[in-house]
Each structure stands twice: as structure tokens, then as C-alpha cells.
A and B are shown apart, each in its own frame.
Chain A
Amino acid sequence: MISDKHCFEMYGYDILIDETLKPWLIEVNASPSITADTIQDYDLKFGLLEDVYSVVDVEQKLGHGVDGRPLEPTVGGFDLIYHGEKVRPDRQATYTSKLGCFDPADRQRGLRKLWASVGATGK
């Protein structure tokens, strides 16, 4: 069995930041909680899972380069940061890391544009 073609995994990373702004790894969880206790939490997690399946692309709508590299570096709230090597951030971007730059309206706009460009409808 070659696991790689079939498997994907969403990890929950727990990271501590010290007072010098250095990050420390606490642990990695392979089954981060996807249940929600508030409406905001539900919306975030629903969107997160929706974006997981947009990246995983069960229906194979998204294109890949000759080296297998995904052509879309941003899918919903996900940014591709590594594919066999570091993915260079967009030079035009204000921030080089998009962590903490989540905006639900941006996400919706991006997804609409993405699905329109691959000729698919919604979802």
C-alpha cells in the first residue's frame, strides 16, 4: 500500500511563545477537536473543514504543475508553505506570513474566484 496518494492529515499544533517572541513546540495532535461550543467556533471549524476538502480536492478540479506542485497557493484560509521545498511568499504581499491574517470575507471572495477559474459551481 502506498499511503501517500490516499492520506491527508490535519494537525493541531500547540505552540508556546516566550517573552522574547521565540516559539516552542508543545505538542502535535492528529485529531484536533472539530466540535464547537459557540457559534463563532462552529463557523470557524466548519470553514476549516470545508477548506481541508477544497485542498484535498476529491473531485480533482484544481490543477497541478509538471512537478506535481499545486497551482493554487491559497485555498480558502489555507496557504501552501512547503512543497518539496519552501514556497516563496508572494513578493507583493504586505506580510510574508499570513498567520493571523484570516478574514472571512476575504476567504469567501477567494473561494468564489478560485471555483469560477476552474469552471466549477459553488462549494
Chain B
Amino acid sequence: MASRTRPIRFRTTFRNTIYDLFKSKGWTETESDTDWDVAWVDKDWIRENFLQQTLADHQRINHFPNHYELTRKDNLIKNLKRTQRALQREGLVDEAARYDFFPGTWLLPADYGLFVEEFKNYPSGTIWIMKPTGSAQGKGIFLFTRLQQINDWKKDSGWKTDAAQAASYVVQRYIENPQLIGGKKFDLRLYVLVTSYNPLTVYIYRSGFARFSSYRYNTTKANLSDTYVHLTNVAVQKTGPGFDAGAGSKWPLRNYRLFLVGKYGHQATDRMFLDVEELCVNTLLSVQKVMISDVIWLIASLICLIASLIR
């Protein structure tokens, strides 16, 4: 690789932390769609702009084209289930059991029949959670205990049980026994960096957050519709009554680790964090093949070629 005689050129439409970082490194901004060394782009940009481009060796961009295999809830579940089934078929019982880190999940409307069958096997009062597949930040999520409650919703939303249409919701057994700290529910936000899917190369960041609900946790019936109690997303919490951004709704991961060590000791704490690391890696392994598949690019290029010939 030729040694650089000019500063690195970056392309980004963001004007926040990432822009500050690039500036602080002395890199120069470019608005060119093609002529850049480093691009930090929105995840949709890559699919719109990447198809016809050939990138030079040195160019680096912050998304993989197939990221939705991991980030769309329906795709993620399909990939996890497929991997678990494949391991079971090969008789790798222990390895398959290591994928037991997501609760029972079905795609709706396609798997509605399967879900209803399974629903009957759970004790009454079991709590279920419905999540739209494409949205984030807790939008459109609700909890229920009776099938009747989604029948009503089905009618209201004009949902057709047409197996051919894409999954619009996932329904999942709700985890009813979350660890609570000070009576509050929380989740962990961790940062994982993948620099290659072939071979899979994964880094995990030592820091992160525990993000707390502002409200005391309980699962009484009256409370199920109160998403502020059940969802820890910052976007949800921010809109809640009496939300106070300064009231410790977020802990650095370090505080959470110290809390665990104090309560359970070093060994149990370390075991738990190793399980978390393994969960992160196993999730990525389940999408590895679809991430490196270039078949869709071939098809997309052919479509572009045909379209240009017709024109």
C-alpha cells in the first residue's frame, strides 16, 4: 500500500460525536459519494449506494450490507432457530443448548397457528410480548396474557393471516423474572465490534450501560399495559410521567459489575459476563453465512444490468 501524502478524507452526514472525532484526528471532510477513505453512514445508505460501487482496497465503511439479518427481529429469530436446529440435527446437544438465550418466539402472521398450539401448553396467566419487527425504541410493543387480546388487536389493525406477507410482529414469551435492583427493572447495553465475518472477528467493549426503568417492577394485571414499567428503552422512559434524566436511570457497566461482585462474589459475576460474551459471539455465528453471502449482490447487479439494457 502506497504511503499517504494527504490526510484521510471522511464522508458523513452526522454532526455529532463521530464528526468531532474525525475532526480531532485532522481528517478532512468530503461530500463525494465515491471518493472517500472513511465513511460513517446511516445503515440504509449502504444498500442504496453500495450496489454499483467497487470499493478501493483502503476504503472503510461502518456497515455490512446484510446487517438486517441481525437487526430485524424476524430475521434474527429465523437465524437463531435455524442454527439451533442444525446443531440438534448433527447431534450436538450441548452446542444447541448454548443457543437457549432467547425465549420462545414466533413470527406473525406466518406462525400464528404454531403459536396458538404452543400457547395452550403454557399455564394460564403466562405473559407474552408483541413486538413489531421493523421498529426500534420500544415503538408498538404491548403485553398480553389471553389470546383474545391479540384477536381484538388483529381485528383493529386489519391484519390478514396471509402466510406470504412478511412477518410484521414477533410474539415472544415475556421474561417474568428479571433481576431487579432497588425494585427496578433494567437491561444492559453493550458494544460489540465486528471487523470481519470471514473469519468471524469480534471485539467487545469493556464499558456499556445498565439502563433502568424509572418505575418499580410488578406484573399485576392492571400494570401490563404500562410500558414504562416493562420497557427499559431510553426512548420509552424519556416520555414517561416524571422522567428525570439525572435520576440515575443509567449506570456505567462498571457499577453493575461492582454490584454483582458485592452480592454474588467474583466467580459468579465472571461466569455471568462470560455467558454474555458467549451469547454475543453465538448470535454473530448464527448470521455468519448469510452475512458473507454475496449472492444477493450478484442478483442485484444482474437486475441493474438488465434494467440498463431495457432502457
Q: Which residue of B lies closest to A32 (CB)?
A: B191
In the complex, besides A8-B60, A9-B193, 11 extra interface pairs with C-beta distance below 8 angstroms are A3-B297, A7-B63, A13-B188, A18-B178, A24-B102, A46-B21, A51-B205, A55-B203, A59-B8, A79-B206, A98-B206
Residue pair B276, A99 in contact (C-beta under 8 Å):
yes
Whole-angstrom distance between the alpha carbons of A4 and B63 in the complex? 10
Residues of the A chain whose Cβ atoms lie less than 8 Å from the Cβ of B280: 13, 81
B198 touches A4 (CB 8 A): yes
Are A15 and B188 within 8 A (Cβ)?
Answer: yes
Contacts of B279 in A (CB 8 A): 15, 23, 25
Contact present for B64 and A44 (CB under 8 Å): no
Q: Is B163 an interface residue (CB 8 A)?
A: no
**CB within 8 Å for A21 and B281 given contacts A9-B67, A14-B189, A30-B70:** no
12 residue pairs bridging A and B, Cβ less than 8 Å apart: A8-B194, A10-B62, A11-B191, A13-B188, A23-B276, A29-B71, A34-B18, A79-B203, A79-B206, A82-B281, A100-B273, A102-B253
For the complex, would chain B's binding face be called helix, strand, loop or mixed by DSSP majority? mixed
Interface residues of A in 22-48 (CB under 8 A from B): 22-38, 40, 42, 44-46, 48
Please tell me if the beta carbons of A22 and B37 are within 8 angstroms of each other in the complex. no
Whether B256 and A29, one on each chain, are in contact in the complex, defined by CB atoms closer than 8 angstroms, is: no
B275 touches A22 (CB 8 A): yes
**Smallest Cβ-Cβ distance to A36: which chain B residue:** B17
- Bound form: Cα–Cα A44–B234 in Å: 17
B63 touches A12 (CB 8 A): no
Residues of B within 8 A of A16 (CB): 175, 178, 187-188
Interface residues of A (CB under 8 A from B): 1-38, 40, 42, 44-46, 48-53, 55-56, 58-60, 68, 70, 75, 77-84, 86, 95-103, 123
Which chain B residues border A51 with CB–CB below 8 Å? 205
B245, CB-defined interface residue at 8 Å: yes
- B303 contacts partner chain A, Cβ-Cβ < 8 Å: no
Q: Which residues of A contact B1 (CB under 8 A)?
A: 60
Identify the closest chain B residue to A94 (Cβ): B266
- Residues from chain B with a CB closer than 8 A to the CB of A44 are 207, 252
CB proximity of A76 to chain B, nearest CB, Å = 9
| Contact (A30, B67) CB under 8 Å given A14-B188, A22-B275, A82-B202 | yes
Q: Is the CB of B54 within 8 A of A1?
A: yes
Interface centre among B68, B206, B280 (most CB of A within 10 A): B206
Which residue among A12, A49, A97 has the maximum number of chain B CB atoms within 10 Å of its CB? Answer: A97
Chain A contact residues: helix, strand, loop or mixed: mixed
B281 touches A17 (CB 8 A): no
Residues of B within 8 A of A26 (CB): 187
Given A17-B179, A37-B245, A102-B207, A49:B201 Cβ within 8 A = no
Whether A9 pairs with B101 at a CB distance below 8 angstroms is no
Name the CB-closest residue of A to B201: A83
Assess whether A25 is in contact with B43, with CB atoms less than 8 Å apart: no
Contact A10–B192 (Cβ < 8 Å)? yes
| Shortest beta-carbon distance from B239 to chain A in Å | 15
- Closest residue of chain A to B246 (Cβ to Cβ) is A38
A17 to B59, CA, bound (A): 38
Known A-B contacts A15-B188, A21-B272, A84-B200; A8 and B195 likewise in contact (beta carbons under 8 Å): yes
